[in-house]
Structure 1
Amino acid sequence: MVVTPILQFGTSRFLQAHADLFVSEARENGQKAGPITVVQSSDDPARRARLEALEKGFPVRIEGISDREPVQETVQVTSVKRALSTAIDWSEVTRVFVDETEIVLSNTGDTGFEPSEADTGRQFDQSMSYPAKLKLLLQSRFAASKCGIQIMPMELIIDNGHVLRDRVLELAQNDSDAFRTYLQRDVVWVNSLVDRIVSQPLRPAGAVAEPYALWAIEDQPGLKLPCSHPSVQVVPSLAQIEALKLFVLNLGHTVLADHWLQSRGCKGTKVREMMAEPKTRHHLEQVYQLEVRPAFSAAGIAQEFDDYVQTTFERFENPFLDHRIADIAQNHNQKIERRIKAMLDFAIEHNDRSPKPVLTGIVGRQTRDAS
């Protein structure tokens, strides 16, 4: 029987072209990395075919520009050896978590950490949020007297490991002191940040992605890497990388999505097509230079900001990627909160109080629409 030290919650095309690909390439290079059990945490029946296809291996097409040279290659990913669904395989998910797992990865989307009414239940309920399901799994591992485990969320949330830890502890507030101590002492909660534009899925499984990729992992005692890979970096702090990623690349995507939504653009519009429109490109350039740059200048990292903006425009203009604005516009309100409102907070924290009419306008409109 195959033993899978890595348990991954989420089946998205991003994970296929990121963590799954990195572990696969590490294994090809002789590392003892993985393999992976993938878990579908939603009950979306449309994803069942993808889940079944993951175990058989799947292609990832890498397309774009790297070092000013075009890159077009296909990599076969073979790191996934088992695929399960919490909706129908909960007992097996629990067994794997208790008996095999050393590292837990997750990317449950923009709403994965949001509370559900079912979260306070003592028994498994498919409608539970990911943190509530994770708490039940950790309780099973604790009850089996198994050693600690490493939790590595990949959701685009600042301090994602600490946020997930705090949510699980909140859900465990009525549990035993021994279990709560286990959560804090024996479980390693890792902050990380991921970056790669994955523009489209392949059927039944696989994805198309740009050459650029990053998995930045914040160092801490007891840290265990899922694999060694050129795109995996251990850093003393994620603060600067997080600010650049969230408030430049991700914010830029959300500004473009908001512009597209307000202008009621065509459903098939792609990022590179918007970048080819002089007015739209100028609009984004102005947001970066007049509204975002002052915050990074106040934080003392203006040069890093300038370099990252240049790289970001190159990525947005990738001629090979069909990155649809409609996909980016999904969960738009949550993205405004985490990218634009958070950037405004970042600016205030660094004593930048310069006018930001476009960004404050987007946040204000979201607030009015929600009321």
Structure 2
Amino acid sequence: MVLQTQVLQFGTSRFLQAHADLFFSQADADMTVTVVQSSGDTSRQHRLAALADPSGFPVRVKGLEQGQEIDREERVTSVKQCFSTAQDWDDVCRVGAGVSYILSNTSDRGYDAQPSDLDAQFTNDMSFPAKLTHLLHYRFKTGAKAPTLLPTELIPDNGDVLKTRVLDLAEAVFNDVAFATWLQAMPAANSIVDRIVSEPIEPAGAVAEPYALWALQKADGLSLPFTHPAIEWVDSLEEAERLKLHILNLGHTYIADLWQVKDWPKDMNVLDFMRGDHCADLMHLYETEVIPAFALKGLESKARAYVATTVDRFANPFLDHRIADIAQNHGQKIDRRIGAFVSWIHATDPECRLPTLSAILKKGT
């Protein structure tokens, strides 16, 4: 039996389980979810069954909140059924024809163009945008209005990117003016999501930090039928992007750089760093370079509050966040997290001194 739900979700990640699925479960509106696995990986069938268990699945929230230790379990009951695009495409289409929202959190490779993307008939080796285009074409033919797209991939302007990909594929594959017009009216949310989800709970569920964010950029036709403390509607995502990228992510990259220079143990984690002597160096960096630079942009108070939250997140006693993992693609991260920050600040004040960050940037180029 196929149930009709409010949300069709592409992705089975533990991040979604501890983020959107939990928010939907906590909503004061009926936000039921159909989860779709698009990889075709048969080894994950046990996870699909567990996600749709009527008793729900656990999310363990563990960490620091305003300096206080938090350890509680939430129960997620929003997921009602699960399908695979490889085995259940017809059912996916039937549900997709009636949902209000299509949520996604696919891997970076899920957006990579595939040779089969231009095929007239659906195949499971298509990219996610191509699969979505075929699903939307099926819905268009039923006469239903377009749904709202809620991509949560870590891609700048993710809603605009996904909608543009769908429009391009629709033109190439279907070449239907009416379908293109229908797609043009489809709301697609640009968003930023943030929550450290440190480990899975088998067969379904996850361990997550208390902090969570789902920032959505306001636009005509975009809305959710509920509110949630972690959901923020903003006029522009730039402020949230800058705070996350140039405080939390920049801090991670600073720690990783020290880890490489000092040749610390390979299994060292962020908590080890926060409990060590060099934590004071990070706090000095925030206080003397990062916060004053944000002040030049009129964001000092918000930067101070975000630094305080970030320190709580880094000092989470339950989180095993390996610095070796953070240090992957270190050069690219220096450029995006530190280089972009220096350029952003120097566009306002070319004389602003950022000695520690400039030294890391110079070494990384």
**TM-score interval w.r.t. the shorter chain?**
0.7 to 0.9
Please, which moves more after superposition, 81-90 or 170-179?
170-179
Quote the residue 1:311 is aligned against: 309
Equivalent residues in 2 for 1:103-182, closer than 5 Å = 103-174=101-172, 175-182=175-182
Unaligned stretches of 5+ residues in structure 1: 365-371
1:24 is displaced (CA, Å) by 0.9
1:281-319 CA deviation, whole Å, 9 max, x = no partner?
A: 356446656665565344332332233122211210111
Q: TM-score, normalised by structure 1?
A: 0.84
Quote the residue 2:200 is aligned against: 201
1:195 is displaced (CA, Å) by 1.9
The CA distance in 2 between the partners of 1:344 and 1:223, in whole Å, is: 34
Equivalent residues in 2 for 1:1-371, closer than 5 Å = 2-26=3-27, 31-56=28-53, 57-98=56-97, 100-174=98-172, 175-185=175-185, 187-225=186-224, 227-257=226-256, 260=259, 268-279=267-278, 281=279, 284-285=282-283, 288=286, 292-293=290-291, 296-328=294-326, 339-340=337-338, 342-343=340-341, 346-347=344-345, 350=348, 352=350, 356-359=358-361, 361-362=363-364, 364=365
Q: What is the DSSP-based 3-state SS (H/G/I as helix, E as strand, rest coil) of the residue aligned with 1:155?
A: coil
Larger-gyration structure (1/2): 2
Please, which moves more after superposition, 12-21 or 330-339?
330-339
1:6 is displaced (CA, Å) by 0.3
Q: Cα gap change, 1:45/1:181 in structure 2, threshold over 3 Å: closer, same or farther? A: same
Q: Cα gap change, 1:266/1:81 in structure 2, threshold over 3 Å: closer, same or farther? A: farther
The CA distance in 2 between the partners of 1:149 and 1:242, in whole Å, is: 26
Q: Cα gap change, 1:151/1:140 in structure 2, threshold over 3 Å: closer, same or farther? A: same
1:68 is displaced (CA, Å) by 3.3
1:342 is displaced (CA, Å) by 4.7
The CA distance in 1 between the partners of 2:317 and 2:155, in whole Å, is: 29
The CA distance in 2 between the partners of 1:351 and 1:112, in whole Å, is: 40
1:18 is displaced (CA, Å) by 0.9
The CA distance in 1 between the partners of 2:47 and 2:330, in whole Å, is: 25
1:154 is displaced (CA, Å) by 1.1
- Number of aligned residues: 356
The CA distance in 1 between the partners of 2:11 and 2:44, in whole Å, is: 11
1:69 is displaced (CA, Å) by 2.5
Question: Identity, % of aligned pairs?
Answer: 48
Q: What is the DSSP-based 3-state SS (H/G/I as helix, E as strand, rest coil) of the residue aligned with 2:319?
A: coil
RMSD: 2.9
1:223-249 CA deviation, whole Å, 9 max, x = no partner?
A: 221632222222222221121112222
